[in-house]
């Protein structure tokens, strides 16, 4: 199975700063079949990005995704207090569909 | 709008079974796979399997084969996930999620069902 490793484990930044989250795959994720989810405390995950770089419906443009092959990035251009959450990547190139362990974004 | 509403929290004893429901609304239930994802407290997400509501066909992750069963009732647009032989480390939140039209990722999620296993 494809193992996804996210880094850093925790990111602590101030409002307005740029957040860069990494997701590295143990083997190439074909056709950029990678998504990002946001999970706020006590809530279900929410789809942010699909196809590595396409924003889901209703997602603000401060969220962007990039990457291909084994290295993918989620960028939050200007952090807002409501971005406090854990962010997960997930690959859908091959079964079993696997998730990274998550990156927690804290707001200073 | 698309909604997935899950059944409420459960407390079970070790060795028992639990059946969680997921009622869909706002779209054609038979047209989209329903997946189940597990999350232990403070931990990450783990894919368990999926069901095709149209055919009833299922695919399970290897870790869950033999002790998880996914079913559906199309007459009430509801999917079910039953876990048998619960252990104390099975205290988790179960989520149902709808598979997106354009790939095997999840564009809508239920609110989650906490199952606590305690003697």
Residue ranges of chain B with per-residue pLDDT less than 70: none
Q: Which of residues 59-118 of B touch A (CB under 8 A)?
A: 59, 61-62, 95, 97, 100, 102-107, 109-112
> Cα separation of B18 and B7, whole Å?
11
Q: Indicate the pLDDT class of residue A3, thresholds 50, 70 and 90.
A: very high
What are the CB-based long-range contacts (under 8 Å, 24+) for B55-62?
A: B59/A95, B61/A96, B62/A96
Between the alpha carbon of residue B77 and those of residues A39, B27, B53, the distances in Å are 26, 10, 9
Q: Indicate the pLDDT class of residue A82, thresholds 50, 70 and 90.
A: very high
Where does chain B have alpha helices with state H? none
What tokens were used for B48? 């368990």
> Cα separation of A60 and A64, whole Å?
9
> Cα separation of B78 and B3, whole Å?
11
Rounded to the nearest integer, the mean pLDDT of chain A is 96
Percent helix, strand and coil across chain B, each to the nearest 5: 10, 50, 40
> Cα separation of B29 and B23, whole Å?
9
Interchain CB distance below 8 Å, A37 and B110: no
Minimal CA separation from A96 to chain B, in Å: 6
Cβ proximity of A78 and A16 under 8 Å = yes
In this predicted model, what pLDDT tens digit does every residue of A4-44 receive, in sequence order? 999 999 999 999 999 999 999 999 998 789 999 999 999 99
């Amino acid at each position: 199975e494809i193992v996804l490793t996210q880094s850093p484990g925790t990111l602590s930044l101030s409002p307005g700063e740029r957040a860069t989250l990494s997701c590295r795959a143990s083997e190439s994720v074909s056709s950029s079949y990678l998504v990002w989810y946001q999970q706020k405390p006590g809530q279900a995950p929410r789809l942010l990005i699909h196809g590595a770089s396409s924003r889901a419906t209703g997602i603000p443009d401060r969220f962007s995704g990039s990457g291909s092959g084994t290295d993918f990035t989620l960028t939050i251009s200007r952090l807002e207090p409501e971005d406090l959450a854990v962010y997960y990547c997930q690959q859908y190139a091959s079964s079993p569909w696997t998730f990274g362990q998550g990156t927690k974004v804290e707001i200073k | 709008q698309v909604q997935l509403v899950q059944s409420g929290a459960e407390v079970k004893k070790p060795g028992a079974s639990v059946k969680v429901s997921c009622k869909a609304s706002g779209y054609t239930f038979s047209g989209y796979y329903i997946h189940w994802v597990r999350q232990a407290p403070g931990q990450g997400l783990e894919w368990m399997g999926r069901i095709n509501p149209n055919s009833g066909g299922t695919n399970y992750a290897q870790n869950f084969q033999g002790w998880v069963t996914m079913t559906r009732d199309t007459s009430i647009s509801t999917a079910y996930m039953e876990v048998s032989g619960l252990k104390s480390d099975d205290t988790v939140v179960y989520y149902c999620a709808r598979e997106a039209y354009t790939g095997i990722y999840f564009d809508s999620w239920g609110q989650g069902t906490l199952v606590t296993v305690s003697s």
